Amino acid sequence: GSALYSVPVDLWSVGCILGEMATGAPLFAGDSEIDTIFKVFQKLGTPTPEAWPGLSELPEFKPSFPRWPHKGWENVRNTKAQVGTEGIDLLDKLMAYDPKKRLSARRALQHAYFADVERPPSQAGQ
């Protein structure tokens, strides 16, 4: 619902892809825009103005939306078994509702989930 889309939206998408790879299924398979939003809320909890300052100013947000509690990734089909505790933490940080609190791409790559990934040598200066 924001008028401005930037890199944090892409990092949310990375979180969706990681989650879908872990579960083997679409995370938020709705049959309409509002149904998809509600699927997000059902899994991640309905956002609050405290968790996402500025939420109430988004044109599509309605205070009358149903309120679902955050269930945690452990309760989303196979996720913890596939990505472990560090992967759950990464998902939480990539899919934070508040774009200002969401991980940057650089911080995501530095996350402990990727600690065992061999990285190419730095290409600084090229």
Average pLDDT, the chain: 89
Residue 119 scores a pLDDT above 90: no
| pLDDT score of 93 more than 80 | yes
Q: pTM of this prediction?
A: 0.85
- Taking alpha carbons only, the member of 85, 82, 73, 94 closest to residue 27 is 73
Tell me the pLDDT band of 4, cut-offs 50, 70 and 90: low
Dist. CA 61–CA 107, nearest whole Å: 29
Within 10 angstroms of residue 11's Cβ, the number of other Cβ atoms is: 21
Query: May I ask the CATH class of domain 7-114?
Result: mainly alpha
pLDDT in tens, 14-49: 999 999 999 999 999 999 999 999 999 999 999 998
Q: How confident is the model at residue 1 (pLDDT cuts 50, 70, 90)?
A: low
